[in-house]
Amino acid sequence: MNTSRRNLIVIPGDGIGPEIMAQAVRVLEWFRAKRGFNCDFQEESFGVGTYHRTGRFMREGLMEEILTADAVLFGAIGGTEDHAAIPTKVRREQGLLRVRREMEVFANIRPIKIFPSLQGASTLKPEVLDGVDFVIVRELLSGIYFGEPRGIETLPDGQRRGFNTQVYTSSEIQRIGRVAFELARQRSGRVTSVDKANVMEAGALWREEIKALHAAEYSDVALDHLYADNASMQIVRSPRQFDVMVTDNLFGDILSDCAAMVAGSLGMLASASLSAPRADGRRRGLYEPAHGSAPDIAGQNKANPLATILSFGMALEMSFNRKADADLLERAVNKVLEKKIRTADIAERGATVVSTSGTGDALLAVLDSLV
């Protein structure tokens, strides 16, 4: 067990962020008290609310602290009219895209795994869900979300035109490809690369580079290719066929939400965004749930905190080298779900519907029973 002192920055953010993060912090405190998790943490404000109070998305100096932290646990941002009212340029320069860019977390890893007791919460048939366990690896720092030129312009005839640029370089494709192939070597040895090589030049380059990387360095791993539209169909038709799926920023964003229905709800999807290894061999890690800020239920103690809690579990394994603790947390989550203690988004007939904090209460009780 690693006993060196580590540090974690906790950022609740906007909307339901403070509610779900409060439960993750309770779990963090439990691991500090009961499992010797030797970690300091600090909670920081960031997001739309902070901007409207201070004129900045985050306080002066916080970005520098983020860059030296062992990990960042993040809740949610934006999603409100207040967010849309902030100039686009400000949002891009100060918001979550900036954090990802400066942390250099190019690889988003999103496990798609069905807890057996949640099969009834999914809209898919149980026989489709049996044995599903795959990972979506999404390139996070390039593609259409970052490409230039971009903008909205007025044409000579008075029409307005919006435009974005989908752009990738060989090195960007190769580095995310390596993450996927290396992960597949630790799992079942299969990678599915997703693109739109049939209609997009950037997609054609993506496929060519993934093929070349596979041939040169990873011929021991099975590789196949799907167009993004077919991939979305296959995820809901037969998700069990996948092991590791690698794709670009835009398609990864879309396909991971599609895959949420395998897990039963976006409220169950955790994720980790990782940098390349630094000089000390460690990676920067940004851990966040897949869902948004859900402003329609913010402040009502209704939101599902499990995606945030499971994101903390990913941090335990990937940033803090505590796989046994990550496994313990996942077992505890599974036992809570087996007891049919659920927030409304994953409740089925016969379930006990509980609040956000009620989920935290149940989880801590189960953790206590497991040690």
pLDDT at residue 350 greater than cutoff 80: yes
Cβ atoms of residues 17 and 31 within 8 Å? no
Beta strand pairing call for 39-43 and 6-13? parallel
- Going by pLDDT thresholds of 50, 70 and 90, the confidence category of residue 2 is very low
Residue percentage of the chain with pLDDT more than 70: 99
Q: What is the pLDDT of residue 89?
A: 83
Is the Cβ–Cβ distance between 326 and 287 less than 8 Å?
no
- Residue 364 pLDDT greater than 70, yes or no: yes
Share of the chain above pLDDT 90, in %: 80
pLDDT at 66 > cutoff 70: yes
Q: Could you tell me which residue, 119 or 233, shows the higher pLDDT?
A: 233
* Whether residue 37 has pLDDT greater than 60: yes
Pick the CATH number of 1-113+264-371 from 3.90.700.10, 3.40.718.10, 2.102.10.10, 3.30.565.10: 3.40.718.10
pLDDT-based confidence at 4, cuts 50/70/90? Answer: low
List residues with catalytic annotation.
145, 196, 229, 253, 257
CA 212 to chain centre: 28
Digit-coded pLDDT (tens) for 236-270: 999 999 999 999 999 999 999 999 888 877 889 99
Measure the CA–CA gap between 141 and 246, rounded to whole angstroms.
14
Tell me: pLDDT of 122 over 90. no
Where are the chain's structural domains?
1-113+264-371, 123-263
The closest of 300, 315, 294, 369 to 339, measured between CA atoms, is 369
Give the start-end residues of each E strand in 178-238: 190-195, 222-227
What is the tens place of the pLDDT at every residue in 279-320? 887 899 999 998 889 999 999 999 999 999 999 999 999 999
What's the confidence (pLDDT) of residue 1? 41
Angstrom distance (rounded) from CA 288 to CA 295: 17
Q: Are strands 244-247 and 71-76 parallel, antiparallel or unpaired?
A: unpaired
Which CATH code for domain 123-263?
3.40.718.10
Residues in the chain, overall count = 371
